[in-house]
Amino acid sequence: MSPRVSKEHLKQRRADIMKAATQVFIEQGYEHTTMKHVMEAANVSRGGLYQYFSNKEDLFEAILEEGLSEEAEDTGFSLEEAASPQWTLLMKLMFGEDGRPDTNMDPLAPSKLEFFITGRHDERRRTYGEKRYEMGVNIYDEVIKAGQETGEFSDRYDSGLLARSIITFVDGLALDHAIQPEEKVRLKEQSELFVEYLKMALDVSSSS
Amino acid sequence: MSPRVSKEHLKQRRADIMKAATQVFIEQGYEHTTMKHVMEAANVSRGGLYQYFSNKEDLFEAILEEGLSEEAEDTGFSLEEAASPQWTLLMKLMFGEDGRPDTNMDPLAPSKLEFFITGRHDERRRTYGEKRYEMGVNIYDEVIKAGQETGEFSDRYDSGLLARSIITFVDGLALDHAIQPEEKVRLKEQSELFVEYLKMALDVSSSS
Amino acid sequence: MSPRVSKEHLKQRRADIMKAATQVFIEQGYEHTTMKHVMEAANVSRGGLYQYFSNKEDLFEAILEEGLSEEAEDTGFSLEEAASPQWTLLMKLMFGEDGRPDTNMDPLAPSKLEFFITGRHDERRRTYGEKRYEMGVNIYDEVIKAGQETGEFSDRYDSGLLARSIITFVDGLALDHAIQPEEKVRLKEQSELFVEYLKMALDVSSSS
Amino acid sequence: MSPRVSKEHLKQRRADIMKAATQVFIEQGYEHTTMKHVMEAANVSRGGLYQYFSNKEDLFEAILEEGLSEEAEDTGFSLEEAASPQWTLLMKLMFGEDGRPDTNMDPLAPSKLEFFITGRHDERRRTYGEKRYEMGVNIYDEVIKAGQETGEFSDRYDSGLLARSIITFVDGLALDHAIQPEEKVRLKEQSELFVEYLKMALDVSSSS
DNA sequence: CATGAATGAGAATTCATTCAT
DNA sequence: CATGAATGAATTCTCATTCAT
């Protein structure tokens, strides 16, 4: 009656496939990745792969969701550090735990962009993309709003709009970096510049 | 046996195909457009199409180039309006002839992003993309540098970096707008906000 | 190490699977039914299913056999009602216990037709189909022959041929009904008409 | 401007493919025939085949339609032979030009049955099947009705019902013959018997 | 030059069946 | 016996590109 292979094992297998697939997506991009690539990278048979994911889209979305929940964990953590100023929070949100602009980018980002951009005419994908966009906006919006309420930030600009501009910046950077080599885009410097933009818009003192 | 069809005619035919193809690319996106779509839209036979463009990539690049030269014309025009302040020029560069943020976007932009992003692992396409990026940076760079030299702009920030941040913003906006409906992205407001960022960074007085 | 599960239990399980499978076959047809459908309907694991039936064909044949033996029981019963005229018997054979044309059809009939017709090039299936056909012919043949011998029926036509024409009619009706809605085929009326044909051919007085 | 290959050639190619496909369908049946079989039999490449027929269903329907129009031609011919009694017409309709029961059957008939029976849950196919059934009924109905009006036939039974019984018989015979060898079904004799049924039902004198 | 039929590589997906646990 | 993960053969369909006419 009990399953031959433990639930753990199943989860593990699934996770393994996703891990291998992630690598493939990073290397080949979303469109150019075929299920065969994944099969080979994950060392699964065709049928085996389809047992876990019913198609490429499904597989990719699973990877996206995973990324999301990981982020959420990280973020959740951050938000608990209650006392810290909203500005610190904002920086952590944008640049990860150390809150400093750096040279790292999510290596899957280009494929994500691909996924959403090539699927922009697909109802399902579009909706999904919008949901994600909204979530992204909301996270930043809340932090900014909080800062504006406590007076830490100027409320000269609408928090939602500022939040959107952050997303725009992040997406634009991901896009450019997907195509240009790092040194052309100047990832870190641009990030620093954008932080300056934000400081000015929020009246955050430079010393922060 | 002189050519049956004049060079003019050929040029015209080519232009017609490009025009029709542009529409198709706008509607279907780059990846999802097939040569058949183009054939039908342009009313050319398969062979005919391949006579003018040896493949889809070639066709799309021709359209890109055309767009570039048109822009260049526009820009060239602007640059001749010598006396105007660089700020005005900058705005015209970003938002077109009237120099004001608006709701319009290049309708082909999403497909362009697609083209470069799905082709990021292709040597040829990548190089081409880099060239375009560089050109974009240069145009903005020059205007900003000019403004900084005349003292119209503060030189607190590196002109190349500022130029890049404009590109990042424009690309990010195009990307988000490709996926989200206009009202979610708030195209115009974001543009206005970004202009504020720039004003602050360049010390341009708000009255401009 | 006595068997953990009683023979009874096994039989029951088998019967349950067959019952569930029958439903599936009725709803989906033979070809379109997959073992997965059956698994789910019967609440058996894949392996479990294959323990009882080594493949889809096997499973379907089991169902067919069951149907046959049930019919045989019914028929056997009928035959024991010795005194009744052969005509009554014939009608019971064709239309069930009440011996009257009606609107009911074996809901599995379409799938049976499918089974035999798609498998007509398969040696095994073909042989099986022939056996069944022969059995069907024989049953009717015997009754008609009996009637002819007692003088109840005219012997103008060969009993085997008449028997075959009954099968042809029944099969034809099943086939048409499988595809057409009842009202198009006029199941009951056609049956009544066919009974008239038979009466005429057998010289059975209309009052019967 | 003018097509390289004449329209004739095209039509010919299409006809050739259909002819080859018909053979394959006859030999393998509808379900078991794959596009690859057809490709090989017709000596077309995959793409070539799909240029003419967008899938197996489409191909088969084309063959069906062709058969229909051929029949219609034949029938049209028959109907013009005005003076002949309706009975003769009826026999020609059932058994072809010579109007006599024989041993021939449409070799594609089994596949047709397959097509409709396996597709009985498909909206499109079902509708198509119903249309064909109706057409078949109508043809017989009209002839019978005509005969009844001129008094050539008894009008004891409803012409529509008689027409249906003919279809039922024809379908039943096709079905049984698809599975049984000819000698088991006794094609010719059954046909003769059915003609007797009809004669009795229509009061057609035996000498006809 | 133009035409469009033909090609065929490749991608996705489905399912019956096996087999280690 | 039971389980269900794994397998892989088979099939459908798409499309960029070529090439004979």
CATH number of domain containing D102: 1.10.357.10
DSSP state, C153?
S
Average pLDDT on A68-82 reads 62
CA–CA separation, D18 and D12 (whole Å): 10
Q: What is the pLDDT of residues A86-108, one digit of tens each?
A: 999 999 999 988 888 888 889 99
Whether A146 maps to a domain, the answer reads: yes
The tokens describing C126, both together, are 């073909």
Comparing D69 with D176, the larger pLDDT belongs to D176
Domain residues for the domain of A68 are 56-202
Tokens of B6: 């004049």
Residue D44 and residue D108 in one domain: no
Query: How many degrees, rounded to 5, is the angle at CA C70 between CA C64 and CA C76?
Result: 130
Domain co-membership, C129 together with C173: yes
Name, in order, each residue with C-beta under 8 angstroms of D69's C-beta and a sequence gap of 6 or more: none
- pLDDT of A201 strictly over 60: yes
Q: State pLDDT tens for residues C120-153.
A: 998 889 999 999 999 999 999 999 999 999 999 9
pLDDT at residue number B2: 41
Residues of D in contact with C121 (CB under 8 A): 27-29, 32
Burial C114-150 (b: 16+ CB within 10 A, else e): bbbbbbbeeeebbebbeebbeebbebbbebbbbbbee
**Residue B48: CB less than 7 A from any atom in strand E:** yes
Q: Residue C28: which CATH number?
A: 1.10.10.60
Measure the N-to-C terminal CA separation of chain D; round to a whole number of Å: 61
Angle (CA) A91-A94-A100 rounded to 5° is 55
Q: For residue A207, is it within any domain?
A: no
Amino acid D67: pLDDT: 84
- CA of B112: which chain A residue's CA is closest? A117
Domain final residue pick, B53, B71, B89: B53
Q: CA-CA-CA-CA torsion for A163, B141, B100, B61, nearest 10 degrees?
A: -90
Residue B109 and residue B70 in one domain: yes
Q: Count the Cβ atoms, other than its own, within 10 Å of residue A78.
A: 17
Rounded CA-CA distance A4/D164 in Å is 58
Query: Quick one: C9 and C107 in the same domain?
Result: no
CA A159 to C1' E12, in angstroms, rounded, equals: 45
Helix, strand, coil fractions of chain D, as percent rounded to 5: 75, 0, 25
Residues sharing a CB contact under 8 Å with residue B90, sequence separation 6 or more, in sequence order = B140, B143, B144, B147, B198
C-alpha C197/C-alpha D56 separation (Å) is 41
Predicted pLDDT of residue C97: 84
Question: In which band, very low, low, confident or very high, does the pLDDT at A27 lie, cut at 50, 70 and 90?
Answer: very high
C78 shares its domain with C159: yes
* Same domain assignment for residues D149 and D164: yes
Q: Is pLDDT of A50 > 90?
A: yes
Neighbour tally for A183: CB within 10 Å: 8
pLDDT score at B94: 93
Query: What six digits make up the tokens of C105?
Result: 């059809």
A175 in the same domain as A77: yes
Nucleotides of strand E within 7 Å of the protein's CB atoms: 1-21
Determine the average pLDDT of the residues in B160-183: 95
Please check whether residue B208 lies inside any domain of the structure: no
Residue D17 structure tokens: 């493919």
The nucleotide whose C1' lies nearest the CA of A44 is F6
Domain end (from C53, C68, C91): C53
| pLDDT tops 60 at residue C181 | yes
Radius of gyration of chain D measured on its C-alpha atoms: 20
Sign, CA torsion A112/A118/A121/A122: negative
Least confident of A148-152, B130-134, C80-84: C80-84
Residues A38 and A98 in one domain: no
Residue-level pLDDT at C3: 46
When pLDDT is cut at 50, 70 and 90, the band that residue A74 belongs to is low
Co-location of C195 and C134 in the same domain:
yes
C144: in domain: yes
Q: How many domains does chain D have?
A: 2
With CA atoms as reference, the chain D residue closest to C110 would be: D117
Give yes or no: residues D68 and D146 share one domain.
Answer: yes
Cα A36 from chain centroid (whole Å) = 26
Same structural domain for residues B8 and B62?
Answer: no
**What integer pLDDT is reported at residue B80 of this predicted model?**
53
Average pLDDT score over chain C: 88
- Chains in contact with D, where contact means 3 or more Cβ–Cβ distances below 8 Å, are C
Decide if A208 is inside a domain: no
pLDDT the model gives residue C71: 66
In a domain, D207, yes or no: no
Residue D177 φ then ψ, to 5°:
-70, -25
Q: Are chains A and B in touch, 3+ Cβ pairs below 8 Å?
A: yes
For residues D173 and D78, membership in a common domain is answered with: yes
Contacts of C58 (CB under 8 A, 6+ apart): none
Q: Is residue B207 part of a domain?
A: no
pLDDT at A191 over 70: yes
Q: How confident is the model at residue A174 (pLDDT cuts 50, 70, 90)?
A: very high
pLDDT in tens, B70-93: 766 666 555 555 667 899 999 999
Per-residue pLDDT of D43-96, as tens digits, reads 999 999 999 999 999 999 999 998 877 766 666 555 555 667 999 999 999 998
Q: What type of residue is B7? A: K
Query: Model confidence at B3, in pLDDT bands (50, 70, 90)?
Result: very low
In the listed set B53, B70, B92, which residue is the last one of a domain according to the structure? B53
Does residue D107 lie within any of the structural domains?
A: yes
D94 close to D173: Cβ distance less than 8 angstroms? no
Contacts of C38 (CB under 8 A, 6+ apart): C17, C20, C21, C24, C44, C49, C56, C59
Report d(CA B119, CA B129) in Å as an integer. 9
| pLDDT confidence of residue A72 | 64
pLDDT at B208 over 60: no
The Cα of D105 is separated from the nearest Cα of chain C by a number of Å equal to 15
